[in-house]
């Protein structure tokens, strides 16, 4: 029975290929204008990644569990630091809820948008601080340098191992 089904599908495919001027038909969804198609679940490079202080960073929300974050299939192991993930690194509290979300500008899906402010993926540590406008540098630490901005809701940092990789962080 299965063999007959496979032969039938193969025959249909071969018949369709024998037509000289056969063009693949577009699916009804593909033929609709782009505006009426559903939005992608992950931000694109042109769309930017929205950071909402005290709430969310892109598709990640403060308070999400590790299982909820993992279900998004968004995080990949950082190419240099096995303890970090890209484009986001999520830090959890003692109850297993996301308490800090960092995004590497180097591996970002798009520019960071905070309201009308845009931090481009090409921003340096200094230019990101200038754009945010109210940053206060913490003393340099063993792992890198952090500047706290927006009353502590947003931080900008870089690591001592890769000073050109800038991270923007949302804290709860």
15 vs 120, which has greater pLDDT? Answer: 120
How far apart, in whole angstroms, are the C-alpha atoms of residue 168 and residue 154? 7
| Higher per-residue pLDDT: 38 or 75 | 75
Please indicate, yes or no, if residue 160 is contained in any of the structural domains.
Answer: yes
Distance (Å) of CA 124 to CA 12, 48, 100, 105, 132: 57, 17, 21, 9, 12
Rounded Cα distance, 165 and 103, in Å: 10
In a domain? residue 58: yes
Question: Does residue 142 lie within any of the structural domains?
Answer: yes
User: What tokens does 101 get?
Assistant: 């979300």
DSSP 118-167: EE-TT--HHHHHHHH---EEPPPBTTEEEEEEGGGTEEEEEESS-TT-EE
Report the predicted TM-score, pTM, of the whole model to 2 decimal places: 0.70
Q: Six-digit token pair at 63?
A: 């308070």
Which tens digits make up the pLDDT trace of 57-112?
999 999 999 999 999 999 999 998 878 899 999 999 999 999 999 999 999 999 99
The pLDDT assigned to 47 comes to: 64
Residue 137 lies in a domain: yes
Across the chain, mean pLDDT equals: 78
Indicate the DSSP class of residue 129: H
Q: Is residue 123 in a domain?
A: yes
Asked if residue 32 belongs to a domain, the reply is no
User: Binning pLDDT at 50, 70 and 90, where does residue 141 land?
Assistant: confident
The domain containing residue 75 runs over which residues? 49-171
Higher pLDDT, 116 or 15: 116
Q: What is d(CA 92, CA 101) in angstroms, rounded to the nearest whole number?
A: 9
The number of folded domains in the chain is: 1
The pLDDT confidence band at residue 3, using thresholds 50, 70 and 90, is very low
**Domain membership flag for residue 150:** yes
Band of pLDDT at residue 131, cut at 50, 70 and 90: very high
Residue 20 belongs to some domain of the structure: no
Confidence of residue 132 (pLDDT cuts 50, 70, 90): very high
Structure confidence at residue 4 (pLDDT): 39
């Amino acid at each position: 029975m299965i063999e007959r089904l496979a032969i039938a599908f193969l025959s249909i495919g071969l018949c369709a290929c024998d037509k000289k001027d056969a063009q693949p038909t577009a699916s009804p969804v593909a033929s609709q204008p782009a505006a009426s198609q559903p939005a992608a679940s992950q931000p694109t490079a042109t769309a930017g990644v929205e950071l909402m202080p005290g709430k969310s960073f892109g598709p990640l929300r403060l308070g999400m569990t590790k299982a909820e974050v993992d279900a998004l299939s968004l995080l990949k192991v950082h190419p240099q630091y096995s303890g970090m993930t890209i484009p986001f690194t999520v830090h959890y509290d003692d109850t297993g809820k996301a308490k800090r979300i960092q995004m590497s500008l180097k591996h970002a899906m798009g520019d960071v948008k905070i309201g009308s402010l845009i931090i481009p993926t090409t921003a340096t540590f200094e230019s990101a601080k200038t754009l945010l406008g109210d940053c206060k540098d913490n003393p340099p630490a063993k792992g890198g340098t952090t500047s706290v901005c927006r009353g502590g809701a947003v931080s900008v940092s870089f690591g001592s191992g890769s000073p050109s990789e800038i991270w923007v962080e949302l804290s709860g």
